[in-house]
Amino acid sequence: MSEASSIRSKKGWFWLSVGVNLGFLGVFKYYNFFAQSFVDSFSHLGIHMQLSTINVILPVGISFYTFHGLSYVIDIYKDRIKPERNFIDYSLFVSFFPLLVAGPIERATHLLPQMKVKRYFNYAKAIDGLRQILWGLFKKVVIADNCAEYANLIFNHSSNYSGSTLVLGALLFTFQIYCDFSGYSDIAIGTAKLFGIDLLRNFAFPYFSRDIAEFWRRWHISLSSWFKDYLYIPLGGSKGGTWMRVRNTFIIFLVSGFWHGANWTFIIWGGLNALFIMPSIIFKTNRSNLEIVAKGRSLPTPREFFDILLTFSLTVLAWIFFRAASLGQAMQIITGIFSKDLFKAPQTSPKPVILLIIIAFMIVEWIGREGRYAIENIGIRWTPVLRWSFYSFIIVCIGMYMQTTGSDFIYFQF
C-alpha cells in the first residue's frame, strides 16, 4: 500500500486490507446473527425461509486483534507510520500475549516503537507491574467472581425474583463487569511492565464519573479512543452542526454495541448510551468534567455526589440490556424493578462479608482515584513493614474469599 504507484491503487490495497480484516470478523462473529435476523424478518411477512448457519467456535479475542490489525492498516494508509518490514516485530505487535484476548486495543504508533528498542530489566517498573497485577487479581477473583455467582443466579431466573432482588442483581453485575474487565486490564498492563512495555491505559475509575461523557472517557479507554480516531473524526467529528454531532454520536455507540456482540441487546445498550450522552452533545457540555472528581479533596461536593449517583444509575440501567439474554428478558427485568415488589427485602444476596469487601473496595478505589490504578500510590510513604502488611492483607483476602469455581473473563467472548 505504501509503495502503490497511484492514489487509486493505494485506495484499492487499503480497502482490500480492511475487507480481509472485517471479513474474518463478519464470518466468525456476525454471519449467524444476520442469517437468523433475515429469516425472522421474512417470517413476519408469512414467508418461511431456511438459511444455513455455521457452527464454529468463535476465536478468542477476535474483535480485539481485528481492531489491532485495522489500526495498523489505517495508520499506514494515513502515512502516520511506515510498514513494518520485520515479520517478527509485526507478529509480536499483533499477538503480544498480555493483550491478545481482551486488550487494551493497542496502536502500532505506540507499541511497535517499544518493541524495536533494546530493553533492560527495570526494578521500579517491575514492582509497579506486580502491584498492578495484585490489584487486578483481587478485583477479578474476589469482587467479580463473587458478584458473578449471584448476578448469574438472578439473571438466569429473573422471572422468579422481586423488584428489589432484580435491582440487586443489576448492581452486582455492574460491579462484576467493572472488576472483571478492569481486573484483566490491570493484569495485562502489569504483566507488560515486567517486560518493559507500557500498554495504553484502559480504565480510569469510571463509576466516579459525573456525566455519561466522562464515563466514556474513563471506561474501556482504548476502544473509545479507537472509535473516536478511526470512525468519529473521519465522519466529521464535532466540526459540523448539531445534526452531524448527533448522527455521528449515534453511529459510534451503535457500532460499539454491535462490536460487543451479535445480539440486539448489545445494540440497544449502545443506543441507550447514545441517548444518555445526547444532552451533553447538543448543549456542548460533554467536556465539562475532564479532571477526576474532587481532585485534591477527600470528599465530593453534594452536587458532585448527586451527579455521580445519577450517572451510576443510568449506567446500571444500560447494563441490564448488556447482560440480559434477550430484549424480552431485559424488558421483563425493568418491568419487574418498577413494581411494588421493589420495596420488599431481596430474596437472595451475597454473604455480609462479601458486601463489606465490596464497600471496602470502593473506598480504596476512591482514595486511589488520582493514580493510574487504585493502589498505585497507597502506602508509598508508609514504612516497609506497614506497606508489605497492606499487600499481604490483599493476598490473604484473595486466598480466603476467591471463588474457587472461577469464571471466564466476560470480554473473552468478544
Q: Is 62:24 a contact under the CB 8 Å cutoff?
A: yes
Instruction: Identify the residue whose cell numbers are 490504578.
Output: 373
Helices (H), 207-291: 212-218, 221-227, 242-260, 264-282
Decide: helix, strand or coil at residue 85. Answer: coil
Integer-rounded Cα radius of gyration of the chain = 23
Nearest 5°: the CA angle 22, 411, 26 is: 20
Options 48, 68, 220, 260, the catalytic residue: 260
Q: Catalytic site residue 260? A: yes
Number of other residues whose CB lies within 10 A of the CB of residue 138: 25
Backbone angles phi, psi at 46, to 5 degrees: 85, 5
Cβ(185)–Cβ(103) below 8 Å:
yes
Place of cell 437472595: 348
For residue 364, the surrounding DSSP H or E stretch is: helix 352-367
CA geometry: angle 127, 181, 167, nearest 5 deg: 130
Task: Check if the beta carbon of residue 356 is closer than 8 Å to that of residue 280.
Answer: no
Q: Which are the catalytic amino acids?
A: 260
